[in-house]
Amino acid sequence: MAITDLLNKLANLLPEDSGEAKALLADAKREAQTIIDDLKSANGESKARKEQIRELKAELESKEDFTQTESKLKAEIESLRKVKAEYDAFKKAEDEKIVNMWLEKAKLFDVPETDKRHATIQSLRPKFHFAEGDNQVSVEQAKANLEKLELLETTGVFEIPKDHTPNTQPPAPGKPGEAQPQYQSSGAAIAAQLYGNKKT
């Protein structure tokens, strides 16, 4: 019957944690089923019994407007869907902002060969992920790139060197008598120390 179908539909719409509401619906379903069973067995009963069954059914249907309850539940579900859609849009915008920030920062690696920083900066490229062809940089890769780049920027490796470049050596230990590598700037020396022996 329609009333049992409606009760089942309402039960399916309720969230998992709606214990009290589900218990009320379960009671209503049992009561409705009792009435339906009574109606089926009432064919051979007296007119007074049939009238009593009709009164019980009317009483049950007057307890709550199930159509109104269903409309409220649908409105609540629709509201939750809107909240999720707003969050998804916000998350997408934030992710795009991070990727675009890296794409802008990646331009630091585009230095001409005539630039004194060219060799040092190009030696650092394998430590980063770049957008090449159809391969785009993911949000996770962009975040990792920005973290490493922030560390490198503190060393001054991307700064334009002065005309008289100091002969700087990294503070890495070496064996006595060994020739220490020469660097164009203190930033390049620190970058070599930070990433020289690391693997991506």
Could you read off the pLDDT of 148-189 as tens digits, one per residue?
999 888 888 778 766 544 445 555 555 555 555 655 565 666
C-alpha distances (whole Å) from 169 to each of 45, 67, 118, 185 are 107, 80, 18, 9
Closest CA to 99 of 144, 138, 149: 138
Residue 174 CA to residue 178 CA, distance in Å, equals: 7
Domain ranges across the chain: 2-93, 102-195
pLDDT in tens, 24-79: 767 776 777 777 776 676 655 667 777 777 787 777 666 666 677 777 888 889 89
The Cα–Cα gap between 1 and 96 comes to 53
User: Binning pLDDT at 50, 70 and 90, where does residue 121 land?
Assistant: confident
Q: How many whole angstroms separate alpha carbon 22 and alpha carbon 100?
A: 48
